[in-house]
Amino acid sequence: MPPITESVAREAICRLGASIFSRGLTFGSSGNISHRLEDGSSLMTPTNVSLGELDPARLSKLDAEGRLVSGDPPTKEGFLHRVMYEGRPDAGAVVHLHSTHSVAVSCLAEIDPADVLPPITAYYVMRIGRLPLVPYFPPGDTRLAEAVRPLVGKHHAVLLANHGPVVAGTSLSAAAGAIEELEETARLFLLLQGHQVRHLTPEQVDELRARFG
* Distance separating alpha carbons of residues 93 and 114, to the nearest angstrom: 24
Could you say which of 6, 11, 86, 123 is catalytic?
Answer: 123
Residue 6: active-site member:
no
Helix (H, G, I), strand (E, B) or coil at 90: coil
Number of residues that this document lists for the chain: 213
Please list the alpha-helical segments (H only) found in 27-157: 78-87, 100-106, 122-127, 143-152
Residue type, 59: L
Numbers of helices and strands, H then E, in the chain: 7, 8
Residue 85: active-site member:
no
* Distance separating alpha carbons of residues 31 and 28, to the nearest angstrom: 9
CB 198 within 8 A of CB 188: no
Could you say which of 77, 180, 181, 183 is catalytic?
Answer: 77
Give the residue numbers annotated as catalytic, written as ranges. Answer: 77, 123
